[in-house]
C-alpha cells in the first residue's frame, strides 16, 4: 500500500503541472495588452508598471511561466487590485467558508445518495424505489440557484426558521450552533443534485453487482440476505461509486459558486463571481488554483479509498 500511495503521489505531478500551465495561460491568452486587461479598470500607470515588473510580461511566455511558478512557490499569487490586498490572504480567508459549505454538502449527499441508492436497488420496482427514482429525477432537473431562492422564500422569508443569508448572525452568534443554523439551507441546496447523481449510480451499481456469480455463491453458502446485500454486494458497488463521489466533489465545489451567491455565503465562489464582474483576474486565478488543487487532492483520496477496498487496484 505505501508503494501504491507513493505511485499515486508521483502521478499527481504531471496533473499539477498541467493545471498550473492552464491557469497560467488563462492570463497569458487574454487578447490585447495583458497588463491593462488583467488590471481592467484598475489600470493606472503605476499598477501597469508594477504588474509588468511582477509578472515579467515583457519576456517570453516560458520565462513568464517560470517567474509565475517561482512566485507561486513563495506563496505570492499577486495582488488583488479591486480589494487592494494580496490574493493569497483573501483566497485563504474565503476558502475556509467554502470548505465548510462544500464539505458538509459532500458528506450529506454521499450518505443520502448511497442510502437512497441501496434502498432503491434492494426494493427494485417497489414503492420506495419508485419514490426515490422520482425524487432523483426532480432533484437533478432542478436548477440549484432557483431551489435556493425557493427555500429562502419558504423558510427564511415566510416562516423565518432559517436565516436568508450569511455565515454568522451579525449581532451575537458566532458559535457552532449559529454556524449550523446558517449552514443548513445552503448545504441542503448544494447537495440536492449530487445526492441524485450518487443515488442513481449506486442503484445501478448495486443492481449490476447483485447479478454477479459471487452473489449467487454467497446465497449458496446460506448467508442471510442482509449479509449478502450489505457485506457482499455493497462493498463491490462502493468501489464503483467512490470515484463518482470524487467527481461530485467537483460539482459541489463548482456549484458553491451559485449557492454562495444566492445565500451570500462569504466563500470563494461568491468571491470569484465578484472578481470576474470586476475583472480582477489575478484574484480569479488564485481562487481557481486553490479550489482546483483541493479538488485534485480529494480525488486522490477517493483513489486511495477505492484501492483500500479493492485489492485488485493496488498494483
Partner 1 sequence: MSRTATANGLAHGRPGLWRLLLNNRLATLGLVLLLLILLLALAAPGLPLADPDLTAPVDRLLPPLSPGHPLGTDALGRDLLARLVWGTRVSLAVGISATLIAALVGSLVGLVAGYAGGRVDMLLMRAIDTVMAFPYILLALVIVAVLGPGLLNALYAIAIVNIPFFARNIRGITLGLSRREFVDAARLSGQSGRQILFGEILPNVLPVIIITISTTVGWMILETAGLSFLGLGAQPPQADLGSMLGEGRKLLFTTPHVSIIPGVMIFVLVMSVNLLGDGVRDLLDPRLKSGALTRPVARTAITHQVPAVTASAAAPRLDVRGLKTEFHMGRQIHRAVGGVDLRLDEGECLGLVGESGSGKSVTALSIMGLVPTPPGRIVAGSARLQGEELFLASDARIRQLRGAAVSHVFQDPLATLHPLYRVGEQLVEAIRAHQPLSRRQAEERAERLLKQVRIANPRRRMHAFPHQLSGGMRQRICIAMALANEVKVMIADEPTTALDVTVQAQILALLRQLRQARDAAILFISHDFSVVSALCERVAVMYAGKIVESGRTDAILSAPAHPYSQLLLQCVPVLGDPGRRLAAIPGQPPRLHALPTGCAFAPRCPRAEADCRHLSIALRPLAGGRWVRCLHPLLEEHGSA
* Residue 233: half-sphere exposure toward Cβ, Cα within 13 Å: 31
Quote the least distance from Cβ 188 to partner 1, whole Å: 17
Would you say 51 or 236 has its CB closer to partner 1?
Answer: 236
Nearest by Cα to 120 from 139, 148, 103: 139
Would you say 29 or 176 has its CB closer to partner 1?
Answer: 29
Would you say 29 or 111 has its CB closer to partner 1?
Answer: 29
Rounded to whole angstroms, what are the CA distances from 201 to 215, 239, 241, 305?
Answer: 19, 12, 7, 18
Would you say 157 or 301 has its CB closer to partner 1?
Answer: 157
Quote the least distance from Cβ 43 to partner 1, whole Å: 16
Partnered with residue 85 across adjacent β-strands are 80
Quote the least distance from Cβ 222 to partner 1, whole Å: 4
| Chain length of the chain | 315
Quote the least distance from Cβ 120 to partner 1, whole Å: 10
Would you say 108 or 263 has its CB closer to partner 1?
Answer: 263
Quote the least distance from Cβ 307 to partner 1, whole Å: 11
Would you say 71 or 274 has its CB closer to partner 1?
Answer: 274
DSSP assigned state of 81: T
The DSSP string of 239-263 is HHHHHHHHHHHHHHHHHHHHHHHHH
| Helices 281-309 + 234-263 axis angle, to 10 | 160
Beta strand spans in 136-223 (E): none
The DSSP string of 198-253 is HHHHHHHHHHHHHTSHHHHHHHHTT--HHHIIIIIIHHHHHHHHHHHHHHHHHHHH
Quote the least distance from Cβ 5 to partner 1, whole Å: 19
Quote the least distance from Cβ 7 to partner 1, whole Å: 16
* Rounded Cα distance, 86 and 76, in Å: 8
Alpha-helix residue ranges (DSSP H) falling in 29-126: 34-39, 45-55, 61-73, 87-122
The total of other beta-carbon atoms located within 10 Å of residue 279's CB is 18
Quote the least distance from Cβ 74 to partner 1, whole Å: 23
* Interior angle at CA 28, CA 27 and CA 34, nearest 5: 80
Would you say 46 or 213 has its CB closer to partner 1?
Answer: 213
Would you say 179 or 276 has its CB closer to partner 1?
Answer: 276
Amino acid at each position: 500500500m505505501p508503494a501504491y500511495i507513493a505511485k499515486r503521489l508521483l502521478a499527481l505531478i504531471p496533473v499539477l503541472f498541467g493545471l498550473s500551465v492552464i491557469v497560467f495561460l488563462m492570463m497569458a491568452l487574454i487578447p490585447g495588452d495583458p497588463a491593462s486587461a488583467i488590471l481592467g479598470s484598475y489600470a493606472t500607470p503605476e499598477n501597469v508598471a508594477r504588474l509588468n515588473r511582477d509578472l515579467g510580461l515583457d519576456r517570453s511566455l516560458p520565462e513568464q511561466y517560470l517567474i509565475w511558478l517561482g512566485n507561486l512557490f513563495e506563496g505570492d499569487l499577486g495582488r488583488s487590485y479591486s480589494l487592494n490586498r494580496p490574493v493569497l490572504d483573501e483566497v485563504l480567508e474565503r476558502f475556509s467558508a467554502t470548505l465548510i459549505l462544500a464539505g458538509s454538502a459532500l458528506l450529506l449527499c454521499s450518505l443520502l445518495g448511497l442510502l437512497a441508492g441501496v434502498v432503491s436497488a434492494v426494493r427494485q420496482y417497489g414503492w420506495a424505489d419508485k419514490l426515490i427514482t422520482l425524487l432523483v429525477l426532480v432533484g437533478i432537473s432542478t436548477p440549484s440557484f432557483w431551489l435556493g431562492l425557493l427555500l429562502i422564500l419558504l423558510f427564511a422569508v415566510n416562516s423565518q426558521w432559517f436565516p436568508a443569508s450569511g455565515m454568522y448572525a451579525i449581532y451575537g452568534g458566532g458559535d457552532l450552533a449559529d454556524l449550523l443554523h446558517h449552514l443548513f439551507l445552503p448545504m441542503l441546496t448544494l447537495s440536492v443534485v449530487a445526492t441524485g447523481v450518487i443515488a442513481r449510480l449506486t442503484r445501478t451499481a448495486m443492481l449490476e453487482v447483485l447479478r454477479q456469480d459471487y452473489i449467487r455463491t454467497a446465497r449458496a453458502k446460506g448467508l442471510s440476505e442482509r449479509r449478502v446485500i450489505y457485506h457482499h454486494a455493497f462493498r463491490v458497488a462502493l468501489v464503483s461509486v467512490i470515484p463518482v463521489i470524487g467527481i461530485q466533489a467537483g460539482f459541489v465545489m463548482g456549484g458553491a459558486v451559485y449557492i454562495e451567491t444566492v445565500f451570500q455565503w462569504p466563500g470563494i465562489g461568491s468571491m470569484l463571481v465578484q472578481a470576474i464582474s470586476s475583472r480582477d483576474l489575478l484574484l480569479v486565478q488564485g481562487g481557481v488554483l486553490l479550489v482546483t488543487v483541493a479538488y485534485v487532492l480529494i480525488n486522490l483520496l477517493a483513489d486511495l479509498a477505492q484501492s483500500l477496498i479493492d485489492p485488485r487496484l493496488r498494483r
